Structure 1
Amino acid sequence: MRDGKGSDMPRLLHPTTSFALIFLSLTASQTSAESLDDIGTVPGADTIRPFLTNSDGSIISGNVSAPGTIAFRWTQATGMQSLGMLPGGLFSDAAAMDVTGSTIVGRSGSTAGQRAFRWTEATGMQSLGVLTGGFYSAAEDVSADGSVITGFSDSATGLRAFRWTQAGGMTSLGVLTGGTESRAEAISGDGSTIIGQSESTGGDRAFRWTQGTGMVSLGVLAGETYSDAKAVSYDGTVIVGKSGSPSGSKAFRWTQGTGMQNLGVLTGHASSEATTMNSDGSVVIGKSIGSGISRAFRWTQSTGMQNLGTLSGNAHSSAKAVSEDGSVIVGDSEGGASGTRAFKWTEATGMQSLGTLTGGSYSRASTISADGKVILGYSNSSSGERAFIFINQIQDLENLQNSVVDVANGVAASVDRNTHIARRLRRDTCTIADQAQGCIGLSGLASSLLQGTNAFGGSIMGSYKATETVRVGASVGLYGESRVSQTINPDYGVGIGAYADIRLGQLAAFNSQANIGVRIDGSWFYTDAEITRGAGYSDVQQESGSSNFNTGTAGLQLYANHVATSNLLLHSYLGTYWEGTGQNGYTEQGIADTNTRINSQFYNAATATMGIDAAYKLTANMQLAFGVGLEADFYSDGIQVSGTSNIPGLTDFTIGADAARNWVRPTLKAGLAYTFTNQGILELDAQIFSPRYQKKLGADLSLKYSVSF
């Protein structure tokens, strides 16, 4: 469906508009989840122009240049999906979409020539054919339920408006008496009424077609020679357009009761034309033209035609869309030396400029939400031509959407960091010197040094020989404020870990004995975090909220310690661990135009581990350590955030993090230990590791001092 079809329909742009935008009805009931990292692109695309949406904004359609035009459809499940072309075609062009987003219509090239098409997920792109004797056709509009399509087709007798249904196929709507051509412009939401223009004996005439009446001329205004219908209400009872002659035209409004009503012109003007109307047709908008200057107008029965003015002196203005109740109008106006600007008009404020995006020289408004609160349009900027959203301040729509994606990416980095520190706490052990009963230790850690998710802190730990074969220990860790990403800033972190090490006996290996044991361990780590959505993005208002991350993990490891030589000890292991991280939901403070509520989430992983470590005695007091390890996930949850917002495209969303999961992750370790005469041991350790949810390798550097007793 397109312009002015009904009370519950978004105001959508005609596909020939120079730049087409998404319109999402923010007042509609939201029931589906959307996933929008960004709209994406079709491979090879140069530009993307989305301009159609279903009623709840979960499905978007439009065209991309790749080169040549290709129609696309975007949904949560499929992402950016090319609708393709008919066999042999070089282009496709989407024109309209039904209210559910399940049916898209338009035109496509084919071996036989240009053809109107209908696309559904089940059938793909299907040619609607041509009328008898025709060479080309194009679909222009579709009813709300997708069952009725209208457009035009060449035929043996000339160009004809058509109506298409599954049962009846393509049927000609004919022409008015004496005419040779007709063309459909739009269809009412209920599918009952088609409007357009037809030639007739008296000249070109706006027409209204129903099954009961056939094609009926709407006539012309007194003294005029032609008429053209542009928009129709949902129930088909109100039609607007223009009627004129070579010297100019007049906007009209038609109903069955009043016939064609002249809406007049503004003072001093000679021409006018109606563009669209609100849901019940009580408010009509368009432009009035005089002395080469156009002015946006608003018409009601009580006020007549009102001049909406301009932003700067003797300049142009044009109305593009109107709110459901007709109180808010948007469009664009020349702003003098500052260039063209999108505007918002109300009775109380008059015409107000919406400004431009950073670095921009022009902006244009295209559509408005039913409640009049949200405006969409486009502006050039330092990043090129971009879609914008305006509530109280102009914002870059793509950057705004991506700011929520950044939250998902930040959550992925936070989960990676939280689980990594939790695993370190689980493995934290001070070193008990020979002949000692236990130890206490203090360690400092700089974690994730290569990833930009740095964590700095440390832990206190203790170990005790409960028996000759059993050792137990515990640790407490504390980490200070850091930054995971430009979006997420952890305030602090605290955690605990514990383990039990049980020696099982000896096993012959390589002509010597290996000590076999099992280690059982677990830990918990908590991080509090401040989340600032929009940080680092131009033309995005920043919003903030508080969340936290809780990680619990438990592991089981079977190991063997083998004295290979008098100076070399080998430690091999095979084990598994589970970990789960909960992210607490939060609601943003609500200080910006757009705000988001993020749901709580929980992420699980089950992993196998294996590796070998070596300790080589360099001197009586100094020891070199090195090792290699490997982790492989049996299972791990993908990172995603879900919630609701008033951001177009993200009203009810589930967004996955950009980074792919690393199912298999290697680790390289190296260290140096020095034993003091007072049974104190100083250890310097470094490791490089692959994280689960990030592309960059991580690095840890730790320093630990243990004292035995």
Structure 2
Amino acid sequence: MFFPHSPDHQRRNGAMRLMRGAEILSGLLGLSIVLGVGTCAQAQSLTLLGKLPGHSVSEAYDVSDDGRVVVGWSGTGTTALAFRWTSSGGMQNLGTLTGFGWSKAYGVSADGRVIVGVSTNANGQRRACLWLPSFNNPAIYFAYDLGTLGGAESEAWAVSADGSVIVGVSTNTSGRRRACLWKYSIRGFNDETGQPAVRVDLRLDLGTLAGYTDASEARGVSADGGVVVGFSSLSTRSRACRWIIRNNAVQRVDDLGTLGGDSSVAYDISDDGGTVVGGAADSSGWLHAFIHQGSMRVLGSSSTVAYAVAEYGEVIVGTAVPGRQSRALRWTSGGQEDLNATYASLLPQGSLLRDAHGISRNGRYIVGSIGPDSATGGIDQAFLLDTARCSTHRGDINRDGCVDDNDLLIVLFNFGRSGTGLGREDVNCDGNVDDADLLIVLFNFGQY
């Protein structure tokens, strides 16, 4: 007899998975020879997302896993409207809670269906807003007011990977701004319009950090909604903090520290909750992008801030403000890079990638705003950058939650390909789809 979680059981399970994978592999090898191997490679591209009719500017804030859905806002000098852009349909006006006023979209779920942000209500007050698609027509969206903690206003900044947990800020009954977490459920839908019937099940006040009790705000959330990051403030000072959520309650609040200065702000967190990024002041008052993995350390040069991080913390994007012109940045294991230099060949004449606000979970797609170079003019709108970048993973190539024969097939059908534009079939990201990638899939076969 052996216990379910004993080392002996784990070894037997691993051996069984490997044997099962080997059986499937032997059967699929012949099939791959018959069907042949694909040779098409993916190319880098920069897509300008445009603006809504009558608007002069647009800005993108988040992107779905596959890069096919981007959210943000389009506007003029006096108003703005949330948009949803798709690769097939272009830019769509998401509207507002009441049909008038303004709105902005800041976050989107991994599959691109759930969108969150802010919209004015009938009284002109800011309200955290949820947009959901019609059950009858996924291109039609409906807006929902998520409510407040008893005050007048709220704003949603981010949503978990599956779209079930939303975080942001709300005023309470005393008018204080507090980090807030919302959960909701769909209780049915209208047969004629397909509009979901939404009920807000939880509005959770996340509280503040000890010693920083004036206000707090949540800006990012882990994939499962269990870890939230943002900041807590007192007067003009702020501290990046992390809330651990268990059973719909705050288990603890962690002070993430600073870089020697008096303020820091956390903007995003990796899927697993292990990597936090943001901006913090050093002892001389200079702002630096930071990364927190157990402790806070400098990520970027002075006058930089990190806004978003990919799945496992391996790719981070943000902005540098060297003088009057901001520039979009990316950080990897190779260090800091200016996206304008890396992707110079893709840029329109006289334009600069100004801000990088969001990144897909696999680190491939980056969104933000592109603007004119002050010396030569240019354009001013949202962008989607496809870096055609590979990201290492554990073998779940089609991202269905399980390493199985479907993933083996993908590797086999692409076996022998090489280059810099490979997709998830290059599991270890060495530029080749080979036996090393097959081994990773086989060793993790059957895992969820």
Q: What TM-score do you get using the length of structure 1 for normalisation?
A: 0.37
| 1:233 partner amino acid | S
What is the SS of the residue equivalent to 1:308? strand
- Distance of aligned partners of 1:49 and 1:288 in 2 relative to their CA distance in 1, 3 Å threshold: closer
Contact 2:168 2:219 in 1 (8 A): no
Question: How do 1:571-582 and structure 2 match up within 5 A?
Answer: none
- Whether 2:142 is the aligned partner of 1:125: answer yes
Cα deviation 1:552-598 (Å, max 9, x = unaligned):
xxxxxxxxxxxxxxxxxxxxxxxxxxxxxxxxxxxxx998x7699xx
The amino acid across from 2:328 in the alignment is: A
1:117-172 C-alpha deviation (Å, 9 max, x unpaired): 64423474355486899877766555555567677788998789665433495558
Look up the equivalent residue of 1:300 and give its one-letter code: Q
Matched, 1:240 2:260: no
The 5 Å alignment of 1:544-583 reads: none
TM-score (norm 2): 0.54
Q: Distance in 2 between matches of 1:132 and 1:365?
A: 31
1:626-669: CA deviation from partner (whole Å, max 9, x where unpaired): xxxxxxxxxxxxxxxxxxxxxxxxxxxxxxxxxxxxxxxxxxxx
How far apart, CA to CA, are the structure 2 residues paired with 1:254 and 1:37?
36
> Aligned AA for 2:269?
M
1:435-458 Cα shifts (integer Å, max 9, x gaps): xxxxxxxxxxxxxxxxxxxxxxxx
The gaps in structure 2 that reach 5 residues or longer are 1-45, 188-196, 342-346, 390-416, 424-448
Please say if 1:61 is aligned against 2:61: no
Q: Distance in 2 between matches of 1:135 and 1:73?
A: 27
Q: Shift of residue 353 of structure 1?
A: 2.9
Q: Does 1:308 align with 2:328?
A: no
AA aligned to 1:385 is: D
Alignment match, 1:265: 258
Q: Is structure 2 residue 291 aligned with structure 1 residue 298?
A: yes
- Counterpart among 55, 62, 82 of residue 93 in structure 2: 82
Instruction: State the Cα RMSD in Å.
Output: 4.6
Q: Are the counterparts in 2 of residues 240 and 254 from structure 1 also a CA contact under 8 Å?
A: yes
Q: Encode CA deviations 1:472-503: one digit per residue, 9 max, x unaligned.
A: xxxxxxxxxxxxxxxxxxxxxxxxxxxxxxxx
Specify whether residues 97 and 233 from structure 1 end up closer, same or farther in structure 2 by C-alpha distance, changes over 3 A only: closer
Counterpart CA distance in 2 for 1:132 and 1:344 is 36
CA distance in 1, matches of 2:169, 2:97: 18
Counterpart of 1:276 (choices 268, 283, 301) is 268
**Contact 2:66-2:360 at 8 Å conserved across structures:** no
Q: Does 1:351 align with 2:362?
A: no
Secondary structure, aligned partner of 1:48: strand
1:94-121 CA distance string (max 9 Å, x none): 3444443344444545656556464423
Secondary structure at the counterpart of residue 270 of structure 1: strand
Cα displacement (A) at 1:289: 0.8
| Residue number in structure 2 paired with 1:365 | 356
Counterpart-to-counterpart distance in 2, 1:390 and 1:256:
34
- Asked if the contact 2:49/2:384 (under 8 Å) is kept, the reply is no
Question: Is the CA contact 1:73–1:81 (under 8 Å) kept in the aligned structure 2?
Answer: yes
Change (3 A) 1:107 1:380: closer
Q: For residue 105 of structure 2, what is the aligned residue in structure 1?
A: 94
For residues 131 and 334 of structure 1, the distance between their equivalents in structure 2, rounded to whole angstroms, comes to 34
Equivalent position amino acid for 1:333 in 2: A
Deviation at 1:324, TM superposition (A): 2.5
Query: Is contact 2:60–2:357 with CA below 8 Å preserved after alignment?
Result: no
Cα distance between partner residues in 2 of 1:153 and 1:335:
33
Question: Which of 295, 305, 309 pairs up with 1:322?
Answer: 309
Q: Say whether residues 1:389 and 2:389 are aligned partners.
A: no
SS in 2 for 1:363: strand
Structure 1 residue 320, shift from structure 2 partner: 2.0
Between Structure 1 and Structure 2, the one with more helix by share is 2
Instruction: Give the AA of the match of 1:383.
Output: G
Q: Which one has a bigger Cα radius of gyration?
A: 1
Q: Is the 8 A contact 1:130 1:155 kept in 2?
A: no
Residue 72, structure 1, aligned to residue 83, structure 2: yes
Q: Give 1:686's aligned residue.
A: none
Equivalent of 2:186 in 163, 166, 176:
166
Structure 1 residues 41 and 256: alpha-carbon distance in aligned structure 2, compared to 1, 3 A threshold: closer
For the residues of structure 1 that align with 2:167 and 2:265, how far apart are their CA atoms?
23
The alpha-carbon deviation at position 282 of structure 1 amounts to 1.7
Change (3 A) 1:350 1:136: closer
TM-superposed CA distance for 1:352, in Å, is 3.0
Displacement of 1:249: 3.2
Distance 1:334 1:239, change over 3 A: same
Q: Deviations over 1:516-560 (max 9, x none)?
A: xxxxxxxxxxxxxxxxxxxxxxxxxxxxxxxxxxxxxxxxxxxxx
SS class of match (1:56): coil
Q: Is the 8 A contact 1:225 1:245 kept in 2?
A: yes
What letter is aligned with 2:133? T
Within-5 A mapping of 1:222-233: 223-225=211-213, 227-233=216-222
Q: How does 1:520-535 map to 2 (within 5 A)?
A: none
For residue 224 of structure 1, report the CA deviation from its aligned partner. Answer: 4.3
Amino acid at match of 2:186: Q
Cα deviation digits, residues 268-296 of structure 1 (max 9, x gap) = x2332322222212222222214331112
Contact 1:88–1:109 (CA<8 Å) still a contact in 2?
no
Deviations 1:55-108 (A, max 9, x none): 323333332226732333334664433334455524343344444334444454
Q: How does 1:102-501 map to 2 (within 5 A)?
A: 102-109=113-120, 116=129, 118-121=131-134, 122=136, 124-128=141-145, 144-145=161-162, 163-167=183-187, 198=205, 207=206, 217=207, 220-221=209-210, 223-225=211-213, 227-246=216-235, 248-255=237-244, 259-267=252-260, 269-290=261-282, 291-301=284-294, 304-310=295-301, 315-335=302-322, 339-347=325-333, 349-355=334-340, 357=347, 358-360=349-351, 363-372=354-363, 375-381=366-372, 382-385=377-380, 387=383, 389=385, 391=387
Percent identity, aligned pairs only, is: 33
Partner of 2:24: none
Contact 1:130 1:154 in 2 (8 A): no
After superposition, the Cα gap between the structure-2 partners of 1:389 and 1:57, relative to the gap in structure 1 and judged at 3 Å, is closer
Aligned residues: 315
**Deviation at 1:318?**
1.3
Rounded to whole Å, the distance in 1 between the matches of 2:174 and 2:231 is: 27
Q: Does 1:44 align with 2:54?
A: yes
Give the Cα–Cα distance (whole angstroms) in 2 for the partners of residues 346 and 129 of structure 1.
36
Cα displacement (A) at 1:233? 1.4
2:80 maps to a residue whose letter is: T
Distance 2:292 2:87 in 1: 40
Question: 8 Å contact 1:130–1:170 — kept in the other structure?
Answer: no
